Homo-oligomer: A and B are copies of this chain.
Amino acid sequence: MARTPRNTLSSELIVRTALELMESKGTDGFSLRGVAAELGVGPMALYTYFRNKDDLYDAVRDHLMGLLPAVPEDVEWPEQVRFVCRSLRLLMLQHPCLAQLLSGRPLSGHETARVAEGLLGVLRRAGFDPETAARTHTTLFTYVLGATSWEIQMAAERRDPEAWRRLRMTMESLSARDFPSVVELAPELARTTGGDEQFDYGLDLLLAGLRLRTPS
């Protein structure tokens, strides 16, 4: 019987376990020690495979980005753009930790590059010049990131009864004299904090603006 069995770990196994923990306990409450315990291993064992916690974060992020589907080739470019943006949003909704993994760290990794390649290719083939393609890519990416992070954030809030109660309190404490529009639009604002319709509304605004710049 081996006292310290070897080769029981691997980068992939650690990434999978880390992902499970992030999704069950949230990005807060996730810890290297938790992952190590789950694997029945000392905390320092992970440092054989990752230089530090951020390094593990990057690996998990890249693993998730690898789940994004390829861009369909038999549709017009606006549909392709829509597909890429929607896919990323759906992946973020399915794995809420991805929001924080994307906003907190710089992009890196091959899977992440593959996603960028997909969108950039669509824009280039549509005829946009290099600068416009790059600008559009950044704009679309940051829109999806911001909108979906917000959506996830608000959904989590709604699930926490204490936070939800406090939000109602602050809303009700606003006088209709000082904040007429906020008070009047409170129901609409509550309804537009997420959902497919809200996301597509912003995405359509961007696409409509983009169509006006369609090359020849």
Contact = CB atoms under 8 A, between A and B. Distances in A.
Interface of A is mostly: helix
A205 B41 CA distance: 51
Contact of A209 (B149, B192, B207): B207
A149 B150 contact: no
Given A137-B189, A166-B108, A193-B138, A116 B182 contact: yes
Q: What's the interface size class on A, roughly?
A: 35 or more
B138 A185 contact: no
A208 B212 contact: yes
The 6 A-B residue pairs whose C-beta atoms are closest, nearest first, are A146-B146, A205-B209, A139-B202, A134-B188, A208-B209, A120-B181
Interface of A: 103-106, 108-110, 113-114, 116-117, 120-121, 124, 130-131, 133-139, 141-147, 149-150, 153-154, 157, 163, 166-167, 170, 174, 178-182, 184-185, 188-189, 191-193, 197-198, 201-202, 204-210, 212
11 contacts: A103-B146, A106-B163, A137-B189, A138-B150, A138-B193, A142-B143, A143-B143, A146-B147, A205-B210, A206-B209, A209-B209
